[in-house]
Amino acid sequence: GAVVSQHPSRVICKSGTSVKIECRSLDFQATTMFWYRQFPKQSLMLMATSNEGSKATYEQGVEKDKFLINHASLTLSTLTVTSAHPEDSSFYICSARGIQGELVKRGTDTEAFFGQGTRLTVV
């Protein structure tokens, strides 16, 4: 399968500071990246979808000024949690989708792969 690397895996920050999470597709070009949030024992909730070179599309209820997403290249997207508060503590996961058909041609059956996730704790 294709590899998506997410960094850092864990981060603890003070309330009021900003935290940046990186998501990289290592061996394929990611035309679209998705950012999810997951609370304990709950499902992944999509926060936003970003296409390379354009503004991210946020899901209803997600503050775009709070969660800044940048997708400047075909291999890198970043999520910045600005002015973090304890309620922002969660598990954040990115997913990258390859160019249509590219991954399928390589024998992978899905077009979206996930990073390892980032555990954010705001104290």
Q: Which residues bind another protein (CB under 8 A)?
A: 1, 4, 6, 32, 34, 41-44, 46, 49, 91, 93, 95, 97, 108-117, 119
Question: In the bound complex, what is the minimum distance in angstroms from residue 83's beta carbon to another protein?
Answer: 26
> Cα–Cα distance between 90 and 30 in angstroms, integer?
24
H-assigned helices in 1-117? 102-105
Question: In the bound complex, what is the minimum distance in angstroms from residue 34's beta carbon to another protein?
Answer: 7
Q: Which is nearer to another protein, 66 or 119 (CB)?
A: 119
Question: In the bound complex, what is the minimum distance in angstroms from residue 91's beta carbon to another protein?
Answer: 7
